[in-house]
Amino acid sequence: MKTHHKMMLSAVTLLGLMASMMTAHAQDVIKIGEVNSYKAQPAFLEPYKKGMELAVEELNAAGGINGKKVQLFIRDDNANPGDAVRAAEELVSREKVDVLTGSFLSNIGLALTDFAKQKKFFFLAAEPLTDKIVWQNGNRYTFRLRTSTYMQVAMLVPEAAAMKKKRWAVVYPNYEYGQSAAATFKTLLKAAQPDVEFVAEQAPPLGKVDSGSVVQAMADAKPDAIFNVLFGADLSKFVREGNTRGLFQGREVVSLLTGEPEYLDPLKEETPNGWVVTGYPWYGIQTPEHKAFFLAYHGKYKDYPRLGSVVGYSAIKSLAEGMKKAKSTDTEKLITAFRGLHVSTPFGPVVFRPEDHQSTMGAYVGRTKNEGGKGVMVDYRYIDGAKVQPSAAEVKKMRAAD
């Protein structure tokens, strides 16, 4: 009996030792939970995931964050806000992640922003562009990396105003991001050019554009210029139909996001010439930060980066810098660290503004060119995001108290 008792004690001791070793091992890892629309938006999010994985690999090779290795826990949200929240809940409660990041579509970004507020959990919105994430729906737990809708539109409006075109047609996907982009463009252009008229407005459902009727309605309005917010497959259909019906002939076009390789590359020989766009001319950026990123990315994947690659990479680097500054993954310490946080990215240094938690990451503005059956950006320049952000006083009016 005594031997049996000793064996039982030894087994209990061993189990206890194993449990403490497992706990110690778990404590040696920083878990980053990430939720995104991989199946719905692969053009942007496959390169984005590669950018994240490159950043994690670099961090771990350099000893991790605060001496701990980094692990990514990725979930697909099926482009559905409800699924996104369920995925976030599972990551927080079951996987015990330290922070959340991700989201691409603006409606999902807003759902996760609300989740972060309800759960008092740190969330870095990497990609969704809606202004509400940092303004009307902003909260102390949510920060955003990517250049916002307002910032991107504000980069394009001086170009649009310089065209001196009076009659404008507007087309955008009918959900949060598209509605916000169109409204901001109309407000800012009207302020810059009071005599402007908006003679047509088309708002097809996201992913379901009836390009024939949209193009025809715009042509019937006889605009002098067009502002386009469509992207992805919707953009390709709109461009094809517009080229076929001559919608763009003799008309200026200002187009959000179209210079990003995710959306420009698929257009190939259909790429229109001379559109004013925001985008990412990876082939021509000669800064030391971008060269280092390009070489590392190309070395790992034997492919060129897309804008998603830059955003995914910079999101992980931002989290790492925040955790190093906070010397912790504690939510409150991270919030303090992220307010005014400086991060080095492939686009150069960015700062997360204390007043609205928006980073100063900028974007490239230039014109499209069909170069031998391939779309590229030409005559481009980088615009620092800090130069197109509203003042702290303006933000205070829009943002609820934290």
Give the tens place of pLDDT for each residue, 170-179.
999 998 899 9
Classify 220 as helix, strand or coil.
helix
- Is the pLDDT confidence value at 6 over 70? no
pLDDT digits (tens, 9 = 90+) for 338-353: 999 999 999 999 999 9
Residue with tokens 């169109």: 182
Instruction: Quote the CA–CA distance of 181 and 255 in Å, as a whole number.
Output: 11
- Is the pLDDT confidence value at 133 over 80? yes
Q: Amino acid identity, residue 375?
A: G
What pLDDT, on the 0 to 100 scale, is given for residue 10? 57
pLDDT digits (tens, 9 = 90+) for 278-287: 999 999 999 9
- Is the pLDDT confidence value at 20 over 50? no
CATH 3.40.50.2300 occupies which residues in the chain? 24-148+286-362, 150-280+364-388
H/E stretch holding 259 reads: strand 252-259
* Residue 210 DSSP one-character state: -
Q: Amino acid identity, residue 9?
A: L
Are the C-beta atoms of 345 and 317 separated by less than 8 Å? Answer: yes
Rounded mean pLDDT of the chain? 93
- Is the pLDDT confidence value at 26 over 70? no
What pLDDT, on the 0 to 100 scale, is given for residue 23? 42
Distances (CA, A) of 6 to 1, 2, 60, 310: 9, 6, 43, 59
Q: Name the pLDDT band for 28 (thresholds 50, 70, 90).
A: confident
Give the residue-averaged pLDDT of 227-243: 96
E strand intervals along 91-196: 99-102, 123-125, 142-144, 167-171
What pLDDT, on the 0 to 100 scale, is given for residue 27? 64
- Is the pLDDT confidence value at 22 over 50? no
Which residues make Cβ contacts (< 8 Å) with residue 168, sequence separation at least 6?
189, 196, 197, 198, 199, 223, 224, 225, 226, 227
Instruction: Please provide the size of the chain in residues.
Output: 402
- Is the pLDDT confidence value at 3 over 50? yes
What pLDDT, on the 0 to 100 scale, is given for residue 91? 98
What pLDDT, on the 0 to 100 scale, is given for residue 25? 44
- Is the pLDDT confidence value at 120 over 80? yes
Q: Name the pLDDT band for 399 (thresholds 50, 70, 90).
A: confident
pLDDT digits (tens, 9 = 90+) for 85-117: 999 999 999 999 999 999 999 999 999 999 999
Instruction: Please tell me the CATH code under which domain 150-280+364-388 is placed.
Output: 3.40.50.2300
Are the C-beta atoms of 100 and 66 separated by less than 8 Å? Answer: no
Architecture of the domain whose range is 24-148+286-362: 3-Layer(aba) Sandwich (3.40)
pLDDT digits (tens, 9 = 90+) for 58-75: 999 999 999 999 999 999
Classify 73 as helix, strand or coil.
strand
